[in-house]
């Protein structure tokens, strides 16, 4: 990729970008508004540029700047296309033992129970939760961001998961509206990264559960357990904790989980599988294994060779600041 600041804004350069954008827009059937979002220039300016009327003429002042923005966009598309050829297809959801356990817990929660599943990073909790939401009816998967500090933010996120964008304004009215949407649905609310929920919002969710009987599953890291079960604030969660019908805690992926990942990548090399097990015991778990496999496969393709342990070692050394000994 070239640094566009080093490119001279010649008439031929400007013309080349104009002709390319006209053809690109027609081929992709894109609107000026869509191009605005991708290029970062107002659609009206791009339209005037392509018609040769920007700043009073086809090569008048300012055309060179737009041409460079278009050229950046072209380079980005080209590089992404190259990566698409080089990069392997990451396996879709694959069923691990941990995923089966999470699905069991979520099925139990959908019976009108409150549950939590706590896992370390890379145990597959988010992937399994999303997969369950795609398989079962009336399941609302909500990733809880750190910015979710107020009832309105949580209600808005829940309604977005319900594909409802017509809720009222005001905390009380919005919460009542959410409860109404949940009533008599046999549904399940999955709150991922639930450790980001402050006490007030956790209590609000408990209220939804009490009043509607909707299932609730808290998915998160060990912080949520520490808050509920111990410490000076444990009493704040007493009413909630007494309602938890099933609990599961897992710090790291299981050996079977990593074997399932290897099978999903069609790996049968024992040395590669052994090294994946070492990576999987590090922070990041299955996620780290996936990133390492993606890079290792690209390296193998670059060598025009079959994936081997050396490629995985090289990939992991690039990704990690804590090398795993062979």
User: What is the pLDDT, as a whole number, of residue 326?
Assistant: 43
Task: Answer yes or no: is pLDDT of 85 > 70.
Answer: no
List pLDDT tens digits, range 184-197.
Answer: 999 999 999 999 99
Per-residue burial over 95-113, b = 16 or more CB atoms within 10 Å of its CB, e = otherwise: ebbbbeebbebbbbbbebb
pTM over 0.95: no
User: What is the pLDDT, as a whole number, of residue 272?
Assistant: 97
List pLDDT tens digits, range 195-216.
Answer: 999 888 999 999 999 999 999 9
pLDDT level of residue 182 (50, 70, 90 thresholds)? very high
List pLDDT tens digits, range 298-325.
Answer: 999 888 899 999 999 999 999 876 555 4
pLDDT level of residue 243 (50, 70, 90 thresholds)? confident
User: Which of 228 and 190 is assigned the larger pLDDT?
Assistant: 190
Mean pLDDT of the chain: 90
- Asked if 125 contacts 286 with a C-beta cutoff of 8 angstroms, the reply is no
Nearest to 129 by CA among 146, 117, 147, 121: 117
Task: Answer yes or no: is pLDDT of 254 > 60.
Answer: yes
User: What is the pLDDT, as a whole number, of residue 232?
Assistant: 47
- Asked if 50 contacts 18 with a C-beta cutoff of 8 angstroms, the reply is yes
User: What is the pLDDT, as a whole number, of residue 325?
Assistant: 47
Residues 6 or more apart from 126 whose CB is under 8 A from it? Answer: 143, 192, 219
What six digits make up the tokens of 195? 């450790």
Summarize the confidence of residues 104-109 as an average pLDDT: 96
User: What is the pLDDT, as a whole number, of residue 34?
Assistant: 95
User: What is the pLDDT, as a whole number, of residue 241?
Assistant: 63
Residues 6 or more apart from 309 whose CB is under 8 A from it? Answer: 269, 271, 272, 274, 275, 326
β pairing state of 244-250 and 139-143: unpaired
């Amino acid at each position: 990729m070239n640094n566009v600041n080093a490119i001279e804004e010649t008439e031929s350069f400007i013309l080349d970008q104009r002709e390319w954008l006209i053809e690109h827009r027609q081929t992709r059937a894109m609107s000026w508004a869509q191009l605005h979002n991708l290029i970062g220039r107002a659609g009206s300016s791009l339209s005037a540029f392509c018609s040769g009327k920007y700043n009073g003429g086809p090569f008048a002042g300012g055309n060179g700047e737009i041409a460079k923005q278009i050229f950046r966009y072209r380079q980005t598309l080209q590089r992404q296309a190259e990566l698409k050829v080089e990069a392997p297809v990451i396996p879709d959801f694959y069923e691990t033992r941990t995923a089966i356990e999470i699905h069991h817990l979520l099925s139990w929660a959908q019976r009108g129970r409150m549950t939590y599943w706590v896992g370390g990073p890379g145990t597959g909790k988010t992937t399994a939760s999303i997969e369950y939401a795609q398989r079962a009816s009336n399941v609302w998967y909500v990733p809880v961001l750190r910015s979710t500090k107020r009832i309105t933010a949580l209600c808005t996120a829940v309604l977005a998961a319900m594909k409802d964008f017509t809720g009222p304004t005001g905390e009380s009215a919005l919460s009542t509206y959410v409860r109404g949407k949940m009533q008599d649905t046999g549904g399940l609310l999955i709150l991922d990264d639930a450790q980001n929920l402050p006490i007030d919002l956790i209590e609000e969710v408990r209220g939804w559960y009490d009043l509607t009987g909707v299932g609730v599953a808290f998915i998160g890291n060990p912080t949520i357990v520490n808050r509920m079960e111990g410490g000076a604030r444990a009493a704040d969660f007493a009413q909630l904790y007494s309602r938890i019908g099933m609990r599961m805690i897992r710090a790291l992926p299981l050996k079977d989980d990593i074997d399932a990942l290897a099978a999903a990548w069609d790996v049968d090399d024992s040395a590669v599988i052994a090294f994946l097990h070492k990576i999987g015991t590090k922070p990041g778990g299955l996620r780290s294994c996936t990133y390492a496999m993606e890079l290792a496969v690209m390296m193998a393709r670059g060598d025009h060779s079959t994936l081997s342990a050396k490629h995985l070692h090289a990939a992991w050394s690039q990704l990690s600041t804590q090398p795993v000994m062979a």
